[in-house]
Structure 1
Amino acid sequence: MEEVERESMEFDVVIVGAGPAGLAAACRLMQQANEKERELSVCVVEKGSEVGAHILSGAVFEARALTELFPDWKERGAPLNTPATRDEVYLLKDAEKAQKLPDALVPKTMHNVGKGFDNYVISAGNLTRWLGEQAEELGVEIFPGFAAQDVLYDDNGAVAGIVTGDMGIDAKGQPKDGYMPGMELRAKYTLFAEGSRGHLGKRLITKFKLNEGCDPQHYGIGIKELWDIPEDQYEPGLVLHGSGWPLDKNTHGGWFLYHGEDQQVMVGLIMDLSYQNPYLSPFDEFQRMKHHPVIKRHLEGGKRVAYGARALTKGGFNCLPKMTFPGGLLIGCDAGTLNFSKIKGLHTAMKSGLLAAESVFDALQKGDEGGSELSDFTQRWEASWAYQELKESASFGPAIHKYGTFMGGAYNFLDQLIGGKLPKLHDTTADYAKLEEASKHEKIDYPKPDGKLSFDKTSSVYLSNTNHEEDQPCHLKLTDPEIPIRDNLPKYDEPATRYCPVGVYEVVEGDDGKPQFQINFQNCVHCKTCDIKDPAQNITWVPPEGGGGPNYPNM
């Protein structure tokens, strides 16, 4: 398609992503502007059809950063209605047996009750929707349904804004009726808050060499369901975590089950994407996990009402890139601020957004016209409680990868007990590089779903409310279309057919009787797992037309 003329809009600050980090930054910017009686234009672009549509998290939420942003959040009606009341942690030994860990042996970061900061079982999506309302009341402009497709640079190479994606392009890349070219949104400063494995953040990290001297980033895939359960099984505020079965000793991860509000339970599995066995299916591991008696007793007789999946950035302190570059900042999970030792990231993401807003506003107050590198953000970040949290748990993930779930857990327990003074551990192998060839493993015969506790991918995608306009370019790009069948199929039995939690990828028989790689992009829930785990690093996720993807309720 020929180059098109694009309309342009000018703002002081553009924020990419209406998640907790981006909206916290937007709110704090406008709070400062109102306090100083300064005019400030702040724009947030969000690829989801509405604010919160693509937000997926556990979630037990530590309210520390929210309290800093809105000390009166209770009076404002923030959707934090279910305080965490009781913790249980289990090691599942096999399909029937489990050991409940005494509190004294649970790492302190896993305690959610009575440890200094209020924790709540929440819907992260609903918190985000509420933050969006606060931002708009403060004067922030939010554009849902607009995907940031590219980065704008000025003549000096500094970030100068973003370009939104074109609307109304057919599968062959040609304009359809109603075609609307994307817009240039120019800004003095641009904050990237796209969440885990942000496609623009990934490019910025490479362009500005932000990860020099860091360990390679590490990820997990989180799969979650929301259940309505019988009243006699409901205990609001009950928080369960566990590890072990059904994952084998070389596959790391854990599960969660939270009793939220309205007689609902959130249940999920987080599986490290450093796993070795190409026959593993995170989706199927999660489905059979729910049959364990420890979990089954909370779900039995209930009804599954929502499903979703999302990658999470879990490398922690050792993998944190530099977050500043000329003209902008990486914040939240785009940078990797999640504290995996707590299985929490919303509070640290929001804190990074608050600090970014303060750095940007101070620069603008001093007459800065944009394009500079906000080095004072680094000083603020490194002096913050969020940075200190991540630093204290720097060895948490590497210990589990190095020593396994049990011995790695023991290392972490001791390290936290003595204040993080054990030798710091590192994991320098990228997740995709850990995958072994299929010849080293046996196929896994997963049990068929029973339709009561376990389900298939088709019905699960339906519950995610995922929708994409079918006549548009596929947003899952193959650098070399030959690799899936030529290389990945013989070596790994094409693992994309299993690591994708919604059945986007299939190997089918073509008209010539030969295998073909089929991409059902309409099913994509934007989890980014393929972008991370493909052993050839051949798949690149880019945003589809704005407004596409899942629409998660209460997730």
Structure 2
Amino acid sequence: MSERESMAYDVVIVGAGPAGLAASIRLKQLAAEAGRELSVCILEKGSEVGAHILSGAVVDPKAVNELIPNWRELDSPLTVPVTKNEHWVLTKKGKFAFPHLMMPPLMSNKGTYTVSLGNLCRWLAGQAEALGVEIFPGFAAAEVLFNDDGSVKGVATGDMGVARDGTHKSDYQPGMELHGRYTFFAEGARGHLTKELKRIFALDADSQPQTYGIGLKELWDIDPAKHEPGRVIHTQGWPLDDAWGGGFLYHQAGGQVALGFIVALNYRNPHLSPFEEFQRWKQHPSIRQFLEGGRRVSYGARAINEGGWQAVPKLAFPGGALIGCAAGFVNVPRIKGSHTAMKSAMLAAESAFAAIAADRGGDVLADYEPNLRASWVGKELAMVRNVEPMVAKFGGAIGTFLAGIDMWMRQIGIGLPFTMKHHPDNEGLWRKDLVAPIAYPKPDGVISFDRLSSVFLSNTNHEEDQPVHLTLKDPTIPVRVNLADYDGPEQRYCPAGVYEFVEEGGSPRLQINAQNCVHCKTCDIKDPTQNINWVVPEGGGGPNYPNM
């Protein structure tokens, strides 16, 4: 018999990001409108709401308008509207601006806001709690629970106080079971429970493989004379060669700029380091000009869904649903996903409430997916579905040109009569002998920095004496395959210095510095043999982003 205690709710939500919070608010709104009680809880693995949230972010308020129409009167952090929208193509020393008139209308940032997504989530959490939603930060959902008929029963949090060797420490506490009539999984990109649910219920059997990018971000306090609130800049081109990605620089509130760099994880050169490409990008004269005289105050990294509409899996299964970036609703060319994530959550909430009002539970929310595909989320994502695969197939310059034509054609009601396919990101690496190593410059400590000092700014911390949450299916593969064939790409694609090869007894060995992990999930995605499996650490561990 299990020693774990349990609590029952109408709806259990895993993850207090934009989707999880939007779902909880919508559920409570519907219950209030119907004059009935509805119990809703959210589990959040971060130490507080927003601690693990990282995004650019330029937010389209479309979903917020629908969810909380009077948000402007409620001290929302959406206070800096985008006032200037620029797109630069960088060369090694210069740039040219892409004419805004040539951009498809859907690429406009008119009516959007630049904001800390973490702060937006903190505000949404306040709205949810005011409606009676119970939020449990510091409790990581570690296991999916199932009923005898195979439907999802809920989730269990991880045990606390377990030593690295698996023994129980003096402060050991078993996990708690949260049972729900329906369970929503809002874990974000590459959620570890979502990955398991996809396997068990074959959710992605009829969709294309999800593809990803890694996004690296810093916050800087800059010279007030250089700060233009609401100015938004996106770049493509240098320093990336055959890899695809680009940078962003957003002038936000408080005299800060949020800047970052995204690298698609289908890149081929195993010597490439997304972190080092980010540091190189900052040294470009057009970017460096904003940072000189400023001070870096925060750093973080996170995987981003890039598969688009054709990579969205089945969304509903017995007893539960995928919402937000757990399913993958990012509009890749717009570099926006919060509004689509929130709308998906609101639609799932409406389906679940109707089912519960009809005294159902544990079945498939059959109307959730059709309603989403018929919504503005479906229309928006269908319009851009060929952008990422075109760039992946034809490269940055030609791919961007063809994708632009496709978007313009769809804008006027026509478009290419096919949907392009994807390949898993881990299959893209070439052997180390087929590509040249990349010589990255040393950081100057002023504009560019090393990984360890960067991780320090992410406030990352894990209880040191706990089981390593970066697990290897076969411990011989890192040296026998990855190092031998690909020069150990994990020591470069990780943005936090988690993986390093060290000499031990005259032979190389992979050392895993799990304490450094910022929960970006890149290793789980890019490892060429899919030997690395990211599992949840003890609740509350990981980064603590204050304003990201």
- Contact conserved, 1:11 with 1:43, CA < 8 A, in 2? yes
Structural mapping, 1:49-60, within 5 Å: 49-60=47-58
The aligned residue for residue 442 of structure 1 is 436
Q: 1: distance between equivalents of 2:491 and 2:400?
A: 31
- Aligned twin of 2:29: 31
What residue in structure 2 maps to residue 219 of structure 1? 212
Please tell me whether residue 376 in structure 1 is matched to residue 331 in structure 2. Answer: no
- Give SS of 1:211's match: coil
Aligned partner of 1:524 among 510, 517, 527: 517
State the Cα deviation string for residues 481-507 of structure 1 (Å, max 9, x = none). 000011111100110000000100000
Corresponding residue of 1:451:
445
Residue 185 in 1 paired to residue 178 in 2? yes
TM-superposed CA distance for 1:386, in Å, is 0.9
Q: Which amino acid aligns with 1:253?
A: G
Deviation at 1:36, TM superposition (A): 1.1
Deviations 1:255-298 (A, max 9, x none): 10000000000000010000000000000000010011111111
Please report how far the alpha carbon of residue 473 of structure 1 lies from its aligned counterpart in structure 2 after TM superposition.
0.3
Shift of 1:4: 4.9
Matched residues in 1 for 2:328 and 2:363: separation? 23
5+ residue gaps in structure 2? none
Residue of structure 2 in register with 1:546 after alignment: 539
Query: Contact (CA 8 Å) 2:472, 2:532: kept in 1 or not?
Result: yes
Looking at structure 2, the residues matched to 349 and 381 of structure 1 have their Cα atoms a distance apart, in angstroms, of 11
Q: How much has 1:457 moved relative to structure 2?
A: 0.5
C-alpha separation in 2, matches of 1:349 and 1:542: 23
What is the TM-score with the length of structure 1 in the denominator?
Answer: 0.97
* Contact preservation (8 Å) 2:389, 2:422: no
Match of residue 324 from structure 2: 332
Check conservation: 1:6, 1:181, Cα contact below 8 A. Answer: yes
- Residue 159 of structure 2 is aligned to residue 166 of structure 1: yes
C-alpha separation between the residues in 2 aligned to 1:319 and 1:493? 30
Equivalent position of 2:258 in the other structure:
266
1:513 maps to 2:511: no
Specify the code of the residue in structure 1 equivalent to 2:13.
I
Segment drifting more, 49-58 vs 376-385: 376-385
Displacement after TM superposition at 1:380 (Å): 1.2
- Among 456, 460, 471, the alignment partner of 1:466 is 460
Paired residues of 1:65 and 1:347 also in contact (CA < 8 A) = yes
Cα drift, residue 474 of structure 1: 0.1
Within 5 Å, which residues of 2 pair with 1:210-359? Answer: 210-248=203-241, 250-359=242-351
Shift of residue 254 of structure 1? 1.0
Secondary structure (helix, strand or coil) at the match of 1:262 reads: helix
Q: Which amino acid aligns with 2:37?
A: E
Distance 1:235 1:402 in 2: 37
Give the one of 395, 399, 404 matched to 1:404. Answer: 395
Alignment partner of 1:375: what SS? coil
In 1, Cα distance between equivalents of 2:247 and 2:421:
22
State the AA in 2 paired with 1:7: E
Q: Does 2:379 align with 1:388?
A: yes
Q: 2:453 aligns to what SS in structure 1?
A: helix
**How far apart, in 1, do the equivalents of 2:301 and 2:229 lie?**
24
Distance 1:520 1:280 in 2: 20
Shift of residue 402, structure 1, vs aligned partner: 1.2
Q: Which residue of 2 is the match for residue 125 of structure 1?
A: 118
Q: Partner amino acid for 1:201?
A: T
Which moved further from structure 2: 31-40 or 465-474?
31-40
State the match for 1:207 in structure 2.
200
- CA-based RMSD of the aligned residues comes to 0.9
Mapped contact 1:4–1:181 kept (Cα < 8 A): no
AA of the residue aligned to 2:422: T
Of residues 125, 140, 145, the one that matches 2:138 is: 145
Amino acid at match of 1:103: H
Larger mean CA deviation between 291-300 and 489-498 belongs to 291-300
What SS does structure 1 have at the residue aligned with 2:254? coil
Q: Work out whether residues 401 and 427 of structure 1, in 8 Å CA contact, stay in contact via their aligned partners in 2.
A: no
The answer to whether the aligner puts 1:499 opposite 2:493 as a matched pair is: yes
Contact kept, 8 Å, 2:307 with 2:422, in 1: the verdict is: no
Q: Distance in 1 between matches of 2:497 and 2:103?
A: 36
Q: Is the 8 A contact 1:394 1:424 kept in 2?
A: no
Say yes or no: does 1:105 pair with 2:102.
Answer: yes
Greater alpha carbon shift after TM alignment, 401-410 vs 163-172: 401-410
- Matched residues in 2 for 1:396 and 1:288: separation? 26
Cα distance between partner residues in 2 of 1:186 and 1:88: 48
Aligned mates of 1:276, 1:109 — CA distance in 2 = 30
% identity of equivalent residues = 56
Q: Secondary structure at the match of 2:239?
A: coil
Distance in 1 (alpha carbons) for counterparts of 2:508 and 2:468: 20
For the structure 1 residues 120 and 344, does the alpha-carbon distance in structure 2 shift closer, same or farther, using more than 3 Å as the test? same
For normalisation by structure 2, the TM-score amounts to 0.98
Judge conservation of contact 2:15–2:185 (CA < 8 Å) in 1: yes
Letter paired with 2:95 = A
2: CA distance between counterparts of 1:271 and 1:109? 22
Structure 2 SS opposite 1:488: helix
- Does 340-349 or 374-383 show the bigger shift? 374-383
CA distance in 2, matches of 1:441, 1:379: 45
- 1:379 and 1:445 mapped to 2: Cα distance? 50
For 2:495, what is the secondary structure of its paired residue?
coil
Code of the residue aligned with 1:97 in structure 2: it is: G
User: In the alignment, what sits opposite 2:59?
Assistant: 61
- Which amino acid in 1 is paired with 2:382? K
Tell me which amino acid in the other structure corresponds to 1:301. G
- C-alpha deviation, 1:104, in angstroms: 2.0
In the alignment, the residues of structure 2 paired with residue 473 and residue 234 of structure 1 have an alpha-carbon distance, to the nearest angstrom, of 45
Provide the secondary structure at the position in 2 that maps to 1:176.
strand
Question: Deviations 1:185-217 (Å, cap 9, x if unpaired)?
Answer: 111000000000000001111111111121111
CA distance in 2, matches of 1:105, 1:279: 35
Partner residue of 2:528?
535
Amino acid at match of 2:45: K
The 2-side partners of 1:78 and 1:517 are apart by 46
| Aligned counterpart, 2:8 | 10
Q: Deviation of residue 182 (structure 1)? A: 0.3
1:291–1:453 contact (8 Å) kept in structure 2: yes
Equivalent AA in structure 2 for residue 474 of structure 1: V
CA contact (8 A) 1:108 1:416 kept: no
